[in-house]
Amino acid sequence: MTSGENKKEPGRSIPLWIAVLIPLAAIGLMLALFAFGNPLSLFTANLPPIEDLNLERIKVVDGGFEVTVVNGGPDPVTIAQVLVDEAYWNFSISPGATIPRLGRAIIEIPYPWVETEAHEIMLITNSGVTFVGEVPVATLTPTPGVEEFLAYGLLGVYVGIIPVALGMLFYPAMRKMGRKWLGGILSLTIGLLVFLLVDTFMEGLEFALELPGVFQGIPLILIAALLTWLLLLAIGSQRKKSIGDDPYRQALYVATLIALGIGLHNLGEGLAIGVAFSIGEAALGSFLVIGFMLHNITEGVGIVAPLVPGKKKNGESEEQAESSEQPQEMKRPSIWVFIGLVLLAGVPAIFGTWIGGFAFSPFLTALFLGIAVGAIWQVIVEVVGLLRNYAEQDGTPLVSWMNLGGFVLGIAIMYLTAFLVKF
Amino acid sequence: MKIFGNNKMNLSRRDFLKTAFSGGLAISGLAGAAATKDALAGQGMDTMQQGSHDHGMPGTVGMVDNAANGFDAQSLLYEWDYGEVSELPNGQILREYNIAAVDKEIEIAPGVFFPAWTYNSRVPGPSLRCVEGDRIRLRFINAGSHPHTIHFHGIHSASMDGVPGVGAGEINPGEETIYEFDAFPFGCHLYHCHANPLKRHIHKGLYGAFVIDPDPSLHPEYEILARQRNHQFPESEEYNEMVMVMNGFDTNFDGDNEFYAANTIAFAYMNEPIQIKRDQIQRLYLVNITEFDPINSFHVHGNFFDYYDHGTTFQPTLKTVDTIMQCQAQRGILEFSFKDFELGRYMFHAHQSEFAELGWMGFFEVVE
């Protein structure tokens, strides 16, 4: 053996195609073993199948109920009988009583339901396992007609667009307050975003926990959040090159991000509202609409906060302004910028109420709320970055008393106005 | 509702309605809010307390495969096991029975299968019938997967009681024993498994009716009545005799029954009413073995009956009633007649509406 051969790494001599073939052959061998050998017979002896049905949606229709059932278990499930309020009841099921894995079926139950009262629907499978769904308050589920479509859209306008626009009306005042208060206003935005982050995450968890196990609700949310965050990071680092040092474009970018994050949150909020109304859990009172407006006004404030100029205007009191090197003054955004931001943040609420009211899917909702969590997280990171820039320029600490105060105020406003819409 | 479970949008509809009407609208200066309210909530307001009047039908969908079960609700009503009858040297009648405990999946409602423990592959087990004073010799074979016993309600010695730790105690799978005693007192009785845990062994299906006919020679003062109750005498043929064992099934094993029935099959006598002749007197041996619920009951429509609690008396213990209740293992004889009644369907059911709607409901169809 020469010393040269010794240095050679083992396996070097094997051609690539063989190196690839070996693990593939091993996998094939193992699959064949399981397919023909049944090495797990010890574990599968005569156990009843695992059944996991999910009553995804119960529509209250004229003359009865219409239940959408999803089989989230590993085996097909056969629905044998249906009970309403602990009484066996006639029903029909399509496409068939046996639902394949991840398949779904619609069960129609003619039933004399009672307006505003609660009903319980139970499915019993051929092995006697039961699955329950509730109609907390029976009232006709809206069907997508023109009138309902407009009504739900209007609801989205109330909850999304109007409050955001109202919040933005504070912009001139914020501009007048000037640089001195900017840190506090941005901190207030961060407080608002942190509240929305927690709120969105909790809402996502609720939907995730209702999903059949096979969809892995909680990982779904977390991973959707992670991927969204990374995506926005990548987009952001690319954008930084094109934006350069222009403070206006930088501020506009952050404002757009905030509007996007809030828009995603509002879509989730719209979904929740749409579902709640469609299943009769909430009747629309003006009180509720006004509650959502007050709750969401802060969002408008938050979106335009970065657009408040970072440099003091001429004529204002300024010692440090002249001493430090400042980028050029930020220009005043046009009205179209504000309109665009309002639409970005508010319109998703309209889609939310539509989807929630007419085409609700818990899986997509959970996935979507995960995306919103990731987006809001990245927005927080960006706003904190902006705040740090200003702090560095001013030579003040990032967590100053004013910034802390703004942050606490932002959370407090959101928390307290939430009293109007959460029960 | 499922999708919202225990959650944040758990809004009280009534609270919002109240709020909406008590000034909420006044606060709102927004055009369109009222229109939206009408479209969203108005559908509820106009039709408050109405809902849907489209009734649909209560009951199960489909039919049970009686052939696969090996028994059907109609024949359970009338089938008696009189045993192998012979005479002992002392002149006493000997009745020999064979009962095997068998694990068997039975269809208790259309499409719903229950992993039952049975006596002789049926639930309820065979309706044993004998005469007061007969010697009963019952060979019990445990062909099931758990230890079982047979415990009779009747008069017998301690060693024949069929409870764990006394006499033969629990009979292990593959083993057997003989229960032997003299049949006393006359009446409508039952037998069931008394192995531990008791609840499970009962609700899994190990029970049956055990009827001891009175011997007229032992009751000279009631001879006619005794002959009318004793299957060996022609006088008893004036009566149409039926057995109903009221039972329930906990199919998801949560300690609460999903199905109730008389003789196992939910709604069996709804889907196929019991035909009875108008001019014949009816005698119903009714046994309650329902697990988990303290009582069960029997109610007949359009008619009244005399009730003999435990069937151990010749005079009714309740006269002219249309509803009786029984605790678990309580039983009795009901006698009634539809003579001169209009022909048609007369309902009977448990008068716990819940049990009725979960399967314990049926019809007598009175025919010529």
Instruction: Tell me what pLDDT residue A4 has.
Output: 47
Please provide the average confidence, as pLDDT, over all residues in chain A: 82
Q: Looking at the predicted structure, is the pLDDT value of residue A285 above 80?
A: no
A402: nearest Cα among A191, A255, A256:
A191
A194: nearest Cα among A52, A337, A328, A384:
A384
Cβ of A422 under 8 Å from any chain B Cβ? Answer: yes
Instruction: Tell me what pLDDT residue A305 has.
Output: 84
Q: For the ranges A249-253, A255-259, A311-315, A330-334, which has the lowest average pLDDT?
A: A311-315
Instruction: Tell me what pLDDT residue A89 has.
Output: 92
Q: Nearest-CA residue of chain A relative to B36? A: A151
Pick B57's closest partner by Cβ from A58, A90, A124: A90
Cβ of A135 under 8 Å from any chain B Cβ? Answer: yes
Q: B164-173: per-residue pLDDT in tens?
A: 999 999 999 9
Q: Looking at the predicted structure, is the pLDDT value of residue B213 above 60?
A: yes
Average pLDDT over residues B302-315: 97
Instruction: Tell me what pLDDT residue B367 has.
Output: 96
Instruction: Tell me what pLDDT residue B11 has.
Output: 37
Instruction: Tell me what pLDDT residue B85 has.
Output: 97
**Interface contact flag, B252 A130, Cβ < 8 Å:** yes
Q: Looking at the predicted structure, is the pLDDT value of residue A283 above 70?
A: no
Pick B36's closest partner by Cβ from A155, A209, A423: A155
Contacts of A127 in chain B (CB under 8 A): 112-113, 251
Instruction: Tell me what pLDDT residue B14 has.
Output: 35
Pick B11's closest partner by Cβ from A78, A80, A423: A423
pLDDT band at residue A244, thresholds of 50, 70 and 90?
A: low
| Full domain range(s) for residue B116 | 67-367
Q: Is residue B40 part of a domain?
A: no
Q: Looking at the predicted structure, is the pLDDT value of residue A124 above 60?
A: yes
Q: Nearest-CA residue of chain A relative to B28? A: A286
Interface of A with B in 390-419 (CB under 8 A): none
Contacts of A114 in chain B (CB under 8 A): 49-51
Instruction: Tell me what pLDDT residue A44 has.
Output: 60
pLDDT band at residue A390, thresholds of 50, 70 and 90?
A: confident
**Interface contact flag, A286 B43, Cβ < 8 Å:** no
**Interface contact flag, B43 A139, Cβ < 8 Å:** yes
Cβ of A114 under 8 Å from any chain B Cβ? Answer: yes
Does the predicted model carry a pTM greater than 0.80?
Answer: no
Cβ of A50 under 8 Å from any chain B Cβ? Answer: no
Q: For the ranges A307-321, B205-219, B297-311, which has the lowest average pLDDT?
A: A307-321
Q: Looking at the predicted structure, is the pLDDT value of residue B302 above 50?
A: yes
Q: Looking at the predicted structure, is the pLDDT value of residue B18 above 60?
A: no
Q: Where are the CATH 2.60.40.1890 domain residues in chain A?
A: 53-135
Contacts of B51 in chain A (CB under 8 A): 112-115, 117, 138
Q: Is residue B49 part of a domain?
A: no
**Interface contact flag, B49 A116, Cβ < 8 Å:** yes
Quote the CA–CA distance of B356 and B135 in Å, as a whole number.
39
Write down the architecture of domain A53-135 according to CATH.
Answer: Sandwich (2.60)
Q: Is residue B88 part of a domain?
A: yes
Distance from CA of A43 to the nearest CA of B (A): 19
Q: A11-15, A19-23, A319-323, B189-193: which has the highest mean pLDDT?
A: B189-193
Cβ of B22 under 8 Å from any chain A Cβ? Answer: no
User: Could you tell me what percent of chain A has a pLDDT over 70?
Assistant: 86
Q: Looking at the predicted structure, is the pLDDT value of residue A322 above 90?
A: no
**Interface contact flag, B44 A283, Cβ < 8 Å:** yes
Contacts of B352 in chain A (CB under 8 A): none
Q: Nearest-CA residue of chain A relative to B40? A: A284
Instruction: Count the domains in chain B.
Output: 1
Contacts of B25 in chain A (CB under 8 A): 286
Instruction: Tell me what pLDDT residue B26 has.
Output: 35
Instruction: Tell me what pLDDT residue A140 has.
Output: 83
Higher pLDDT, B66 or A212: B66
Q: A197-201, A414-418, B271-275: which has the highest mean pLDDT?
A: B271-275
Average pLDDT over residues B205-233: 96
Distance from CA of A172 to the nearest CA of B (A): 25
Q: Is residue B280 part of a domain?
A: yes
Q: B100-147: per-residue pLDDT in tens?
A: 999 999 999 999 999 999 999 999 999 999 999 999 999 999 999 999
Please provide the average confidence, as pLDDT, over all residues in chain B: 88
Instruction: Tell me what pLDDT residue B195 has.
Output: 96
Average pLDDT over residues B271-276: 95
Instruction: Tell me what pLDDT residue A9 has.
Output: 56
User: Could you tell me what percent of chain B has a pLDDT over 90?
Assistant: 83
Give just the sign of the alpha carbon dihedral A2, A6, A9, A10. positive
- Residue B233 belongs to a domain with what CATH number? 2.60.40.420
**Interface contact flag, B112 A81, Cβ < 8 Å:** yes
Q: Looking at the predicted structure, is the pLDDT value of residue B95 above 90?
A: yes
Q: Is residue B51 part of a domain?
A: no
Q: Give CB contacts under 8 A, 24+ apart, made by A43-48.
A: A48/A127
Contacts of B24 in chain A (CB under 8 A): 285-287, 290
Residue of B12, B22, B40 to mutate, testing the A interface (most A Cβ within 10 Å of its Cβ): B40
Instruction: Tell me what pLDDT residue A33 has.
Output: 85
DSSP string, A67-133: EEEEE-SSS-EEEEEEEETTEEE--EEES-SEE-TT-EEEEEEE----TTS-EEEEEEETTS-EEEE
pLDDT band at residue B246, thresholds of 50, 70 and 90?
A: very high
Q: Are A241 and A346 in contact (CB under 8 A)?
A: no
Q: Looking at the predicted structure, is the pLDDT value of residue A282 above 70?
A: no
Contacts of B249 in chain A (CB under 8 A): 128
Interface of A with B in 252-281 (CB under 8 A): 272-273, 275-277, 279-281
Average pLDDT over residues B253-272: 94
Q: Is residue B145 part of a domain?
A: yes
Q: Nearest-CA residue of chain B relative to A134? A: B1
Pick B358's closest partner by Cβ from A87, A207, A423: A87
Average pLDDT over residues B209-231: 96
Interface of B with A in 259-288 (CB under 8 A): 266-267
B99: nearest Cα among B79, B81, B75, B74:
B81
